[in-house]
Amino acid sequence: MIQTPICDALGIEKPVFQGGMAWIADASLASAVSEAGGLGIISAMNANAEWLRDQIHELRERTDKPFGVNIMLMSPFVDEVARLVADERVPVVVTGAGDPRKYMSSWIDAGIKVIPVVASVALARMVERAGATAVVAEGGESGGHVGDSTTMTLVPQVVDAISIPVVAAGGIADGRGVAAAFMLGAVGVQVGTRFLVADECTVSEEYKERVLKAGDISTMVTGRSGGHPVRCLKTPFTRRFAKAESAGASQDELNAMGAGSLRKAAREGDYENGSFMCGQIAGLVKRRQSAAEIVDDLVGGAEKVLKGATTWVR
């Protein structure tokens, strides 16, 4: 059985985080992953504190295992959400889309383990000094908001730069990816795209079907001109967005064009107008499973690969 320092630090059985995907990572999915021994994560997305409180309470009715909340630092409700997780004594806070240091001391004082998602060595060093328990080093292969560095290049550089545990994310969907992350120096993985097709994931059926049909070149990145690149499946919407971006549309025009597009995909299954955020690894996701089956397959697959690694050593 694989047991790493991140398991000991968080009180989880298996070193698998479920990604905090906006409009997707709710109490249903997060509680199922936590029950399976991983770290289920609720996404606070752009929602207010009242919505998040309800999700936290629902999750706690479903499981007594450790869980996390992902806070998107660009949210208009970030201040009230930051206070809520401290009030609720959430076990783990994972942050994304910004620098969390403004809030970290209050979270740490509340006994919360803070694990920022980082796309650079510089940010990893800063949050370590601020008291982070660990970091998630996320490569640009991932779905949603992405950085420039790939997982293969980012993870070992972050591992070498800091002394706290590193969790790898981006392009991981099976045991081979988990084993590779360990070889790069990570002590855990964060997985998003594969959990999109989990039985407990409440995303639209259209979303799930699009992920299952995806291939190796089915995603694209838009939004680079505005400094907020996002990886999604290639759809009529993303192609229209990319065309407008390349034609020099203003940031206000692009923001208006993208407003609500993720909700349209995740909740309404609107293929024409929705933004189906998804990682490059979608081509490996070929069947629906329960969250528990996914977690077990990731860990069991890694064990199998690692046990056979000496095959190549003479």
Across 187-300, the runs of DSSP E, i.e. the strands, are 188-191, 219-222, 230-233
Give dist(CA 167, CA 113) in Å, integer: 14
Q: How confident is the model at residue 304 (pLDDT cuts 50, 70, 90)?
A: very high
β-pair type (166-169, 188-191): parallel
Distances from the Cα of 302 to the Cα of 15, 158, 259, 285, angstroms: 11, 22, 39, 16
pLDDT above 90 for 74? no
Which tens digit of pLDDT belongs to each residue from 216-234?
999 999 988 877 889 999 9
Domains of the chain are 5-201+287-306 (3.20.20.70), 219-277 (no CATH)
Give which of 128, 288, 263 is closest to 208, Cα–Cα.
288
What CA–CA distances, in Å, run from 150 to 125, 165, 171, 253? 18, 19, 9, 30
pLDDT at position 90:
96
Asked if pLDDT for residue 312 goes beyond 80, the answer is: no
> Using one digit for the tens of pLDDT, what is the confidence trace for 249-274?
888 888 888 888 999 999 999 999 99
> Angle at which helices 291-307 and 27-35 pack, to 10 degrees?
40
pLDDT digits (tens, 9 = 90+) for 106-122: 999 999 999 999 999 99
Percent above pLDDT 70 for the chain:
100
Q: Which of 179, 173, 180, 243 is nearest to 214 (CA)?
A: 173
Q: Name the pTM for this structure.
A: 0.93
Q: Find, among 165, 67, 198, the residue nearest to 207 by Cα.
A: 198
pLDDT grade, residue 203 (50/70/90)? very high
Rounded Cα gap, residues 103 and 307, in angstroms: 42
Dist. CA 13–CA 217, nearest whole Å: 34
